Amino acid sequence: MGHIGDFLEFIVKLVFWLYMLLVMLRFLLQLVRANFHTPVAQFVITATNPVLRPLRRVIPGLGGIDLAALILLFVLQLGEIVLIGLLPGPQHHIPSSPGLFLLTIGLLIDQFVFFYIVSITVQAILSWVNPVAFHHPIGSLILQLNEPLLRPIRSKFKPINGFDISPLIFIVMLMAVHYLIAAPLIDAAALTRLR
């Protein structure tokens, strides 16, 4: 039964991760006021509208922050944890209510951290290997998402001999968020497990 549970866990995580990635992209694109007239952005809008549009009627935005998308991300992460907890196998369990809340917040923060680590790394590699790639819709999207966060760092830490260290500094900051915020929340959730 253990291998079946592991395979089902993989499927659940994959499905939730893919949809959460789309909702996260939608949230971040709105936050940075990105160009929504690109094919990638249009795909993200089309994929997330069926759930987000009705939610927005009930949950209004706040100061340019799409609260409906954030709440949807929270519910999706919570749903993933509960579904995995219901799978067969001794390693699957559902934490108590406080643990479930802490685990959901910790994993959600980690999703954002992981997303930005990957996108910053891709941007850095593209800038070294093929700067023309930023004219492609995906390259342009990466720039729109990352530059609002890299620009303030770049203004304080000038390039060294033409080498832009802002991506490296930002990744270190993201790792600090993981180790100092997300990981302690996930560890605290583990202490409240219900067997």
At 193 the pLDDT is: 58
**pLDDT profile of the chain (195 residues), mean per 10:** 78 94 94 85 93 92 89 96 83 81 95 96 84 76 90 88 88 97 92 58
**Bridge partners of 95?**
193
For residue 101, count CB atoms less than 10 angstroms from its CB and return exposed for 0-12, middle for 13-18, buried for 19 or more: middle
**Bridge partners of 193?**
95
At 129 the pLDDT is: 79
**pTM confidence score:** 0.88
Nearest to 170 by CA among 186, 181, 155: 155
Q: What does the DSSP assignment read for 27-87?
A: HHHHHTT--S-SHHHHHHHHHHHHHHHHHHHHS--BTTB-HHHHHHHHHHHHHHHHHHHHS
Kindly tell me the sign of the dihedral angle through the C-alpha atoms of 74, 76, 80, 82: positive
At 194 the pLDDT is: 45
At 195 the pLDDT is: 40
At 37 the pLDDT is: 84
Q: Cα(107)–Cα(111) distance, rounded to whole angstroms? A: 6
What six digits make up the tokens of 90? 């001794």
What six digits make up the tokens of 148? 């609002």
- Residue 91 in 3-state DSSP? coil
